[in-house]
């Protein structure tokens, strides 16, 4: 071999060394300890570690930490899991777990740094997009092996088991209703209403107060106005009516749903919802509520994290809009808020199975529910016996103990969803009539059906 050949070999070896060094220095976006040191290993390194030390490496992808409080909660969760499973080393990476952004799909399609388990935003259309593309694996065998159908609340299991295969393990249940500022209510002599008549009376009282919006909503974000409209449908048209639309032959331009849309318009016109709502983001709306510039904010238990950050846990309460239907009780709306899935290309599905078993356990429920600022209602049956430390979450958990109403946003197809958010924004902005808006949403639903979208129970 001549000198030039040796130079080529030397360059090749140098490049190979640099590639290996770079791979070894990759770090996740965040880790439970909050450190920036390398906490992520390539699949090859994980396999090498398992072979040398007998440990398994479990790679998790979870949503970005909202704040330091949530980071600390996850650190304790990981600590407890490793106490119970010392043979498994857990590496956590944070990132975008929304199907809508396309980043989760791109990650799984790339087959690079594939997690073993992912905590993602749930919903039939989101899960089916990944399962249809064969990016996540069926969990049928794990349900059969571990009897997971008995470890999940019955109504949660019903929401995910209508199709031929099951691809998700429900993590938490949404409970969307009204948060209210206790100080504002007490200062102006307003009580939490238990009847529809008292509810309207409450809005009228609050509308007469200067500098305080009765209901704030960040309608610029479609999902936020969707939360409020879903609560209104549950209270004014009922669960059964929405089930007809989602699962049966019902339509979005049903007169009862049109009436709910007309009520939304009326509330804007009368000042129950400020006209500026169409220009507000959800963050703007939340800011007004947390600063007592609004009496009521409609959303899920995610808000508890904000309340903890601002030390407002004791000054905010939670209640559901009372039913406007005789003999009916309105429940907070929701569905499965987040679910765990296992990618088809997961390198360590056995460790992922152990992790999901832990998620369903009383050990997990006791750890997270011990935090007064924890903000999720767990989907496991084990969690029913564990009482949340925080009063707001405790109240919400009782309200959905036997099930919830439907948050339409997570049960509709792509075409319906786009039309749903756009037309609700149009209603708040006074750009479209209630009948026109509901006709448009129904057109979107028909397009989804033509494209094969269908919910089953």
Q: For residues 150 and 360, what is the distance between their CA atoms, to the nearest angstrom?
A: 10
Number of Cβ within a 10 Å radius of residue 453: 17
Name the residue ranges covered by the structural domains of the chain: 56-174+335-406, 176-333+409-451
Instruction: Work out whether the CA dihedral 31, 32, 36, 39 comes out positive or negative.
Output: negative
DSSP letter string, 286-300: HHHHHTTSEEEEEE-
Cβ burial, residue 360 (10 Å; 0-12/13-18/19+): buried
- The reported pLDDT for the residue numbered 54 is 57
Helices and strands of the chain, counted as H and E runs = 20, 10
- The reported pLDDT for the residue numbered 40 is 40
Q: For residues 120 and 135, what is the distance between their CA atoms, to the nearest angstrom?
A: 13
Query: What are the distances in angstroms from CA 403 to CA 46, 189, 321, 381, 383?
Result: 41, 32, 16, 12, 14
- In the chain, which stretches have pLDDT less than 50? 1-53
- The reported pLDDT for the residue numbered 10 is 41
Instruction: Tokens for 40, please give them.
Output: 């992520």
- What is residue 188's DSSP assignment? T
Is residue 223 within 8 A of residue 286, CB to CB? The reply is no
| Phi, psi angle pair for 94, to nearest 5° | -105, 150
**CA 104 to centroid of chain Cα atoms:** 15
pLDDT digits (tens, 9 = 90+) for 162-185: 899 999 999 999 999 999 999 999
State the pairing for strand pair 316-319/213-216.
unpaired
Is residue 178 within 8 A of residue 298, CB to CB? The reply is yes
- The reported pLDDT for the residue numbered 2 is 44
* Superfamily of the domain at 56-174+335-406: Periplasmic binding protein-like II (3.40.190.10)
Instruction: Tokens for 74, please give them.
Output: 């996850």
Q: At what angle do helices 282-290 and 222-236 cross, to 10 degrees?
A: 70
| E-assigned strand segments in 26-100 | 56-63, 88-95
- What is residue 338's DSSP assignment? E
To which residue do tokens 């009780």 refer? 329
- The reported pLDDT for the residue numbered 401 is 87
Instruction: Tokens for 259, please give them.
Output: 């009436």
Do 56-174+335-406 and 176-333+409-451 come out as alike in CATH topology? yes
pLDDT digits (tens, 9 = 90+) for 242-268: 999 999 999 999 999 999 999 999 999
Instruction: Tokens for 386, please give them.
Output: 């564990």
* Superfamily of the domain at 176-333+409-451: Periplasmic binding protein-like II (3.40.190.10)
Instruction: Tokens for 305, please give them.
Output: 């994290």
């Amino acid at each position: 071999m001549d000198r030039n050949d040796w130079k080529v070999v030397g360059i090749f070896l140098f490049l190979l060394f640099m590639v290996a060094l770079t791979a070894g220095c990759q770090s996740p976006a965040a880790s439970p300890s909050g450190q920036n040191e390398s906490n992520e290993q390539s699949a090859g390194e994980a396999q090498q570690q398992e072979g040398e030390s007998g440990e398994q490496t479990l790679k998790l992808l979870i949503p970005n930490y909202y704040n330091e409080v949530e980071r600390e909660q996850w650190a304790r969760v990981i600590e407890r899991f490793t106490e119970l499973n010392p043979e498994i080393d857990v590496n956590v990476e944070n990132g975008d777990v929304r199907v809508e952004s396309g980043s989760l799909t791109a990650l799984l399609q790339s087959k690079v740094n594939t997690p073993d388990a992912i905590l993602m935003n749930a919903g039939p259309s989101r899960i089916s997009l990944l399962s249809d593309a064969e990016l996540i694996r069926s969990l049928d065998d794990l349900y059969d092996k571990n009897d997971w159908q008995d470890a999940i609340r019955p109504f949660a299991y019903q929401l995910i088991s209508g199709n031929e295969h099951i691809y998700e393990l429900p993590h938490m249940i949404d409970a969307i209703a009204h948060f209210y500022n206790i100080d504002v209510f007490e200062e102006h002599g307003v009580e939490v209403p238990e009847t529809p008549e008292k509810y309207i009376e409450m809005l009228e009282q609050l509308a007469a107060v200067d500098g305080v919006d009765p209901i704030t909503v960040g309608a610029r974000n479609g999902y936020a106005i969707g939360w409020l409209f879903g609560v209104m449908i549950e209270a004014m048209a009922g669960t059964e009516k929405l089930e007809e639309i989602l699962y049966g032959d019902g339509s979005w331009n049903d007169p009862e749903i049109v009436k709910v849309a007309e009520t939304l318009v009326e509330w804007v016109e009368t000042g129950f919802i400020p006209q500026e709502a169409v220009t507000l983001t959800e963050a703007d709306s939340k800011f007004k509520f947390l600063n007592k510039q609004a009496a009521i904010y409609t959303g899920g238990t995610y808000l508890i994290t904000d309340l903890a950050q601002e030390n407002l846990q004791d000054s905010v309460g939670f209640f559901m809009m009372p039913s406007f239907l005789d003999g009916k009780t309105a429940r907070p709306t929701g569905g499965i808020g987040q679910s765990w899935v296992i990618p088809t290309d997961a390198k360590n599905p056995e460790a992922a199975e152990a992790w999901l078993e832990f998620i369903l356990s009383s050990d997990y429920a006791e750890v997270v529910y011990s935090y007064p600022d924890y903000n999720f209602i767990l989907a496991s049956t084990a969690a029913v016996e564990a009482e949340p430390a925080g009063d707001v979450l405790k109240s919400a958990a009782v309200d959905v103990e036997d099930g919830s109403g439907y948050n339409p946003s997570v049960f509709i197809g792509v075409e319906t969803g786009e039309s749903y958010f756009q037309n609700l924004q149009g209603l708040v902005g006074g750009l479209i009539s209630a009948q026109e808006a509901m006709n448009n949403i129904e057109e979107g639903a028909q397009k989804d059906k033509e494209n094969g979208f269908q919910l089953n129970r």
